[in-house]
């Protein structure tokens, strides 16, 4: 059986996606591609958490943790790329 | 095994989120503001906590957190949403600031260009009211920018309370597109090219009008000057062409006159004093003399007559002809002379200058049939390059004497003024004028290296200005020339003349006065005849222009055969003209046609007795 908080997580994540879509359409998406993909992986993790309560517990549990690990790497890479981008921008301005 | 894999993945996730958290904290504020960074840090912190809880739980180390991480996890999507929103808001704010900055720059650039424009420029509304004016407008009108704003454009430009006729703004309001009109702006004292360009909004409604006035006064003046110069050049070329034509006609006519006068002279000599036909011959001679004077006038116009320039004082010439002019113009016209006290000398043929003055006085008399005043004045003027360039005269800059003939007569219009120097052009009724008076003046003045200017308007009289170059040399004393009577001789003369009539009359005259004559029909024939009779011939008379070989070429060939040979050249053209053509050398003996018997005989004796 799946837990209530896991379903709530999934619903909130889906609502946040809808809101992203709305905001992006109105204002244009910021250049944070790696962070978005990381967020998608977290969302997948939420989905697998819910599914594991119904079928193939171990498999979907593994996928869930794998998604979190990948998401963590993507977030780290995303933040690093933001810092690098800012450094190169500063160098350009100094020139 | 399975649990180990899960713990391993959780470990990777925890470390990765931890590293991401460290990086997020170090993101500079210039890239991401504090609220965004805080929300990102909270998102990442949640998963550091979740990962750590999972390690503890799946690694079976402790279950103290008792699935709290599941509840903490709920905040991740919210915080991430806030983070994204915060970033977008900041980004939007930044781009708005950038757009505002760009707009400010663009506005400043536009304002700078608007103000820097050298042309008076206004921005108007659809009611002609000034919204803005640039510095050039302020400078041109002398009004402040504040005073100009709110005024009507036509008030500023034309000082009227209505748009002027042909107003480009009115035209633009009708046509809906840019209109440009050339107009004189009284307020600015110049001629402007005024353009009105509409500025429309997205829906095509008129918002503002850009009114630009470009000062074209200078370019108009240059254009007018150019046109004047072109007119003057065309006029000069026309006069030159007409002069050549007149000279050519005079030349051929002189040949005919030579025959008429010669044969008439012969007849006269042969006739007894009581011969009833003598009067007829005298009539022929009298008419021939008149015709000769006409050709002389044509030659004067075409600058091909013989002049005898000597240093003379202009004032003295004016004084000497003053009485004659008084008689010429009649009592109903007052003559006033206003001579300069400067004593300058010109190189001129006094007789020719007197002729100029007589012709001008005659012209003035005819223009003042109801009476009036003729003023003759002299001046010394300096003509600079600019004056000569402006008036397109073919003369050198320097000091010139100026004779002004001003009458208070009818004057003339521009079309007449342009044509007055043309030979046979006259406005007088039939039989009153030959149309050669002013043409002769033109030719004489040109031959004296001067020029004539005419200023006249209908009803306002006419002023002729004659400019003649002055010289520094002293005036030579002139002695009256004593002309000896003609004498004959017994020498043999070779006469080379292509015109049969002239050749025959020349032979007849020479035969009569005892000379032996050998005739040649052209230059080549002259050389052959000379070869045949070189021991007999004492003198050769050569026409300058002949077929096959001209007079000069024939003379050169003859000189090779006998270097000491004496020669006289004749031509319907003047010696000056022939000299200019480079046909004859300096110091040669020359008689212009029509040749009178006395002149020919005198010249022959002069050459033969040398």
- Between CA B459 and CA B464, with CA B462 as vertex, the angle to 5 degrees is 170
**DSSP-based three-state secondary structure for B537:** strand
- Between CA A11 and CA A20, with CA A16 as vertex, the angle to 5 degrees is 150
- Residues B244 and B195 grouped into a single domain: no
| Strands B310-313 and B190-200, sheet pairing | unpaired
Q: Is the pLDDT of residue B431 over 60?
A: no
Q: Is the pLDDT of residue B573 over 80?
A: no
- What is the C-alpha R_g of chain A? 17
Mind listing the pLDDT tens digit for each residue in B370-409? 888 899 989 888 887 767 766 656 778 888 898 988 888 8
Mind listing the pLDDT tens digit for each residue in B530-541? 998 888 899 999
Does a structural domain hold residue B479?
no
**What integer pLDDT is reported at residue B142 of this predicted model?**
86
Number of residues written out for chain B: 610
CA distance A29 to chain B (A): 7
Contacts of A2 (CB under 8 A, 6+ apart): A49, A50, A52, A53, A54
- Residues B150 and B84 grouped into a single domain: no
Mind listing the pLDDT tens digit for each residue in B150-202? 999 888 888 888 888 889 999 998 998 999 998 887 767 788 899 999 999 88
* Residue reference for tokens 């503890």: B56
- Residues B138 and B153 grouped into a single domain: yes
Of B597 and B577, which is predicted with more confidence? B597
Provide the pLDDT confidence category of residue A72 given band limits of 50, 70 and 90.
very high
**Spatial distance between the Cα atoms of B7 and B60, rounded to a whole number of angstroms:** 10
Token reading at B571: 């031509």
- Could you write out the three-class secondary structure of B387-409? HHHHHCCCCCCEEEEEEEEEECC
Tell which of B92, B111, B130 closes a domain: B111
**Spatial distance between the Cα atoms of A3 and A9, rounded to a whole number of angstroms:** 10
Whether ipTM > 0.95 holds is: no
A vs B, Cβ pairs < 8 A, gives 115
- Residues B129 and B206 grouped into a single domain: yes
Residues in chain B within 8 Å Cβ distance of A64: none
In this complex, do A39 and B80 lie within 8 Å of one another by their Cβ atoms? yes
Supply the range of the domain harboring residue B31.
2-111
Query: Any bridge partners for residue B470, and if so which?
Result: B346
Mind listing the pLDDT tens digit for each residue in B216-248? 888 888 888 788 778 777 777 777 777 777 777
Residues in chain B within 8 Å Cβ distance of A61: 6
**What integer pLDDT is reported at residue B430 of this predicted model?**
56
CA B37 to each of CA A72, B30, B81: distance values in angstroms, whole numbers, following the listed order: 17, 11, 13
Q: Is the pLDDT of residue A95 over 80?
A: no
Mind listing the pLDDT tens digit for each residue in B248-285? 787 788 888 888 888 888 888 888 888 888 888 888 88
Token reading at B495: 């006469």
**What integer pLDDT is reported at residue B311 of this predicted model?**
86
Out of B6, B26, B76, name the one closest to residue A42 (CB).
Answer: B76
Q: Is A38 in contact with A71 (CB distance < 8 Å)?
A: yes
CA distance B107 to chain A (A): 25
* Residue reference for tokens 């702006």: B185
DSSP B86: H
- Residues B122 and B202 grouped into a single domain: yes
| Closest CA relative to residue B572, chosen from B553, B605, B588, B594 | B594
- Residues B354 and B368 grouped into a single domain: yes
Query: Any bridge partners for residue B471, and if so which?
Result: B345
Mean of the per-residue pLDDT values for chain B? 83
**What integer pLDDT is reported at residue B480 of this predicted model?**
45
CATH of the domain at B138: 3.30.450.20
Q: In chain A, where are the structural domains located?
A: 4-94
- Residues B316 and B445 grouped into a single domain: yes
Element housing A2 (H / E): none
Residue B77: closest CA among chain A residues belongs to which residue?
A13
Does a structural domain hold residue B476?
no
Does a structural domain hold residue B564?
yes
Cα-Cα-Cα-Cα dihedral sign, residues B308, B312, B318, B324 = negative
**Spatial distance between the Cα atoms of A74 and B238, rounded to a whole number of angstroms:** 95
Cα-Cα-Cα-Cα dihedral sign, residues B346, B347, B351, B355 = negative
**DSSP-based three-state secondary structure for A27:** helix
Residue B50: closest CA among chain A residues belongs to which residue?
A68
- Residues B581 and B505 grouped into a single domain: yes
Tell which of B181, B215, B249 closes a domain: B215
Mind listing the pLDDT tens digit for each residue in B306-358? 677 788 888 888 888 888 888 888 888 888 888 888 878 888 888 888 888 88
- Residues B359 and B248 grouped into a single domain: no
**What integer pLDDT is reported at residue A86 of this predicted model?**
75
Tell which of B281, B301, B321 closes a domain: B301
Total of domains in chain B: 5
Contacts of A36 (CB under 8 A, 6+ apart): A29
Mind listing the pLDDT tens digit for each residue in B19-66? 999 999 988 887 888 888 999 999 999 999 988 888 888 777 777 766
Q: Is B523 in contact with B558 (CB distance < 8 Å)?
A: no
- Residues B78 and B93 grouped into a single domain: yes
**DSSP-based three-state secondary structure for B185:** strand
Contacts of B48-56 with CB under 8 Å at 24 or more apart are B48/B14, B48/B17, B48/B18, B48/B21, B50/A68, B51/A68, B51/A72, B51/B10, B51/B11, B51/B13, B51/B14, B51/B17, B52/B14, B54/A65, B54/B6, B54/B7, B54/B10, B54/B13, B54/B14, B55/B7, B55/B10, B55/B11, B55/B14
- Between CA B511 and CA B518, with CA B514 as vertex, the angle to 5 degrees is 50
- Residues B398 and B330 grouped into a single domain: yes
Of B525 and B189, which is predicted with more confidence? B525
CATH of the domain at B422: 3.30.565.10
**What integer pLDDT is reported at residue B577 of this predicted model?**
58
Burial label for A39, CB within 10 Å (0-12, 13-18, 19+), is buried
Q: End-to-end alpha-carbon separation of chain B, Å?
A: 152
Phi-psi region of B440 (alpha: psi -120 to 50; beta: other; left: phi over 0): alpha
Does a structural domain hold residue B478?
no
Q: Which residues of A touch B (CB under 8 A)?
A: 3, 5-6, 8-9, 12-13, 15-16, 19-20, 23-24, 27-30, 32, 39, 42, 58, 61-62, 65-66, 68-69, 71-73, 75-76, 78-80, 82-83, 85-86, 89-90
Provide the pLDDT confidence category of residue B552 given band limits of 50, 70 and 90.
confident
**Which of A70, A76, A92, A93 to mutate: most B Cβ within 10 Å?**
A76
């Amino acid at each position: 059986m799946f837990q209530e908080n896991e379903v709530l997580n999934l619903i909130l994540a889906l609502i946040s996606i809808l809101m992203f879509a709305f905001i992006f359409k109105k204002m244009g998406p910021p250049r944070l591609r790696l962070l978005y993909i990381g967020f998608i992986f977290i969302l997948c993790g939420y989905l697998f958490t819910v599914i594991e309560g119904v079928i193939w517990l171990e498999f979907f549990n593994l996928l869930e943790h794998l998604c979190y690990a990948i998401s963590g790497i993507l977030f780290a890479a995303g933040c690093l790329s933001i810092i690098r981008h800012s450094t190169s921008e500063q160098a350009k301005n100094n020139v | 095994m399975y649990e180990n894999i899960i713990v391993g993945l959780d470990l990777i996730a925890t470390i990765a989120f931890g590293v991401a958290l460290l990086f997020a904290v170090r993101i500079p504020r210039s890239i991401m503001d504090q609220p965004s960074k805080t929300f990102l840090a909270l998102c990442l912190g949640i998963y550091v906590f979740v990962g750590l809880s999972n390690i503890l739980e799946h690694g079976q180390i402790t279950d103290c957190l008792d699935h709290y991480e599941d509840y903490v996890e709920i905040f991740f999507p919210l915080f991430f949403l806030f983070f994204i929103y915060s970033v977008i808001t900041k980004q939007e704010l930044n781009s708005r600031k950038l757009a505002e900055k760009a707009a400010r720059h663009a506005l400043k650039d536009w304002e700078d260009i608007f103000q820097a424009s050298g042309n008076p420029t206004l921005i108007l509304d659809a009611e002609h009211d000034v919204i803005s004016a640039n510095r050039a407008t302020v400078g041109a009108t002398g009004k402040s920018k504040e005073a100009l704003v709110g005024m009507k454009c036509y008030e500023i430009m034309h000082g009227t309370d209505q748009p002027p006729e042909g107003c480009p703004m009115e035209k633009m309001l009708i046509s809906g597109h840019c209109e440009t009109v050339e107009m004189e702006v009284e307020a600015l004292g110049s001629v402007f090219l005024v353009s009105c360009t509409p500025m429309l909004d997205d829906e095509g409604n008129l918002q503002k009008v850009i009114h630009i006035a470009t000062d074209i006064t200078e370019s108009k003046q240059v254009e007018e000057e150019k046109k004047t110069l072109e007119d003057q050049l065309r006029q000069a070329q026309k006069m030159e062409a007409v002069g050549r034509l007149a000279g050519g006609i005079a030349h051929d006519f002189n040949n005919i006159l030579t025959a008429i006068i010669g044969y008439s002279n012969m007849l006269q000599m042969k006739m007894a004093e009581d011969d009833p036909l003598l009067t007829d011959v005298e009539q022929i001679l009298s008419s021939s003399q008149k015709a000769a004077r006409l050709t002389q006038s044509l030659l004067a116009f075409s600058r091909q007559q013989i002049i005898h320039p000597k240093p003379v004082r202009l004032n003295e010439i004016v004084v000497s002809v003053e009485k004659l002019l008084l008689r010429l113009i009649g009592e109903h016209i007052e003559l006033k002379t206003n001579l300069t006290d400067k004593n300058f000398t010109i190189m001129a043929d006094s007789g020719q200058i007197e002729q100029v003055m007589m012709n001008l006085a005659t012209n003035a008399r005819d223009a003042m049939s109801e009476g009036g005043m003729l003023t003759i004045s002299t001046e010394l003027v300096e003509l600079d390059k600019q004056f000569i360039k402006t008036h397109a005269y073919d003369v050198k800059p320097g000091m010139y004497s100026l004779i002004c003939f001003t009458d208070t007569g009818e004057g003339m219009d521009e079309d007449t003024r342009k044509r007055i120097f043309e030979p046979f052009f006259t406005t007088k009724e039939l039989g009153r004028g030959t149309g050669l008076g002013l043409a002769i003046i033109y030719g004489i003045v040109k031959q004296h290296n001067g020029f004539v200017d005419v200023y006249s308007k209908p009803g306002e009289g006419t002023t002729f200005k004659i400019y003649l170059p002055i010289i520094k040399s002293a005036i030579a004393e002139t002695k009256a020339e004593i002309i000896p009577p003609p004498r004959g001789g017994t020498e043999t003369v070779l006469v080379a003349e292509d015109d049969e009539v002239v050749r025959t009359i020349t032979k007849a005259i020479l035969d009569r006065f005892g000379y032996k004559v050998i005739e040649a029909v052209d230059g080549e024939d002259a050389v052959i005849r000379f070869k045949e009779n070189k021991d007999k011939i004492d003198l050769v008379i050569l026409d300058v222009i002949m077929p096959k070989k001209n007079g000069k070429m024939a003379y050169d060939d003859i000189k090779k055969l006998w270097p000491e040979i004496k020669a006289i050249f004749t031509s319907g053209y003047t010696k000056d003209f022939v000299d200019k053509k480079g046909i004859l050398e300096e110091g040669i003996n020359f008689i212009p046609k029509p040749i009178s018997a006395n002149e020919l005989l005198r010249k022959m004796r002069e050459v033969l007795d040398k």
